[in-house]
Structure 1
Amino acid sequence: MRMKLLVGVAAIALAGCAGKPAPIGGAPGLQVVEGDLPPPTGDDVVGPTISYGVGPFDTLSIDVFGVPELSERKVKVDANGQIEFPLVGTLTVAGLEANEVSALIESRLRGQFVRDPDVTTTVEDTAARSIVVYGQVMQPGVYPVEGKSSLLKSVATARGLSEFANSEDVVVFRTVNGQRMATLYNLEAISRGMYGDPAIYPNDTVVVGESRSRRLFDNLVGAAALIATPLTVLLQTTLD
């Protein structure tokens, strides 16, 4: 009983230390905004024109000259950077330039399917528009932004909150007119309709904080279980 009481006292003391998350901000050049972040400009979203080759969710136009069945085909690159093309099957194209994709398809077609293939590949639509969602979500990562998005939708895309997530500690980082900005959101308040679900734009970063008190409680429950078993054995020995 004494050992169980000590665990309870420790839980109360440590829970007091868990407290609320530290305030955001303090990094050089970062402006903390109260309320909704302003939308980014076109330059903030597009950024400098740099070629990184074909990427996930890009749309390619592939044309095999003189072969109608393989001409003017629109192919979308999947999340793994791969495409499916008739006769040649699955091809990994992530990071390749358009002419390198053409050469790869030509090498697969040559001899076996087409005597001397002439392939032209064009990147018709690039999906460089993406967001980063990390922290206490089930699947942190980089996700494409297709159409309008929101904070709740972005978290749902990352498969929702993890066991130790703090829904009151969600920070969104954004660059507006070259200025790095951040603001704090409360998912619980948004889901209850206390204020609107803010828009999320390409290049935004969403960070979900951790509930330290929730993790602490989980750790203490595990510790109490370890203590309870030998304590029970000790009591039985005393009674005998």
Structure 2
Amino acid sequence: MAIRHFFLLLGLLLVQSEAVLAEGNSTYKLGSGDVIRINVFGEPDLSFQELRLTDAGTFSYPFIGEVRAKGKTAAEIEKMIAEKLNGEFLVDPRVSVSVLQYREFYISGEVKEPGGYPYQPGLTLRRAIALSGGLTELASKSRITIIRDQDPNRTPEKANLDTPIYPGDSINIDQGFF
């Protein structure tokens, strides 16, 4: 009986985690460097396993041409492609778009291995520092700034170790004063 409850609980947790992932992807805004997959059910010639968005945040698609994806969600791209293919090219097309690879975030300053790193959903500054090899001996834990990729003014904002990190963010860790 206990094993049965264990598997039931495990199944519920898996369903819940998939719902959270789907919800997270539904609000994610695409940008240059993201890699997406497009699937049109029953149409292999219109399905693409990997498409990297250009520096302008666009990609080229058959019958439609250049598609502006920057700032749009995967669901918005699905709807746009389905609407443009419907009628003239296909009858009631079923389109799905998913993000395969997020654009990088960047970390500089007093970390052991500064540079660009692949974004991972749920990333915090603490984990970003760990990915970059950790802090140097001179690093300040209180003088950390982030420039958000989505901020058109590129204004640095103060951050702490629990601050969420998003694709395209630029993190700078200053030296501490002794």
TM-score by length of 2: 0.47
Select the structure that is richer in helix.
Answer: 1
Higher relative contact order, structure no. (Cα contacts within 8 Å, ≥ 6 residues apart): 1
TM-score by length of 1: 0.36
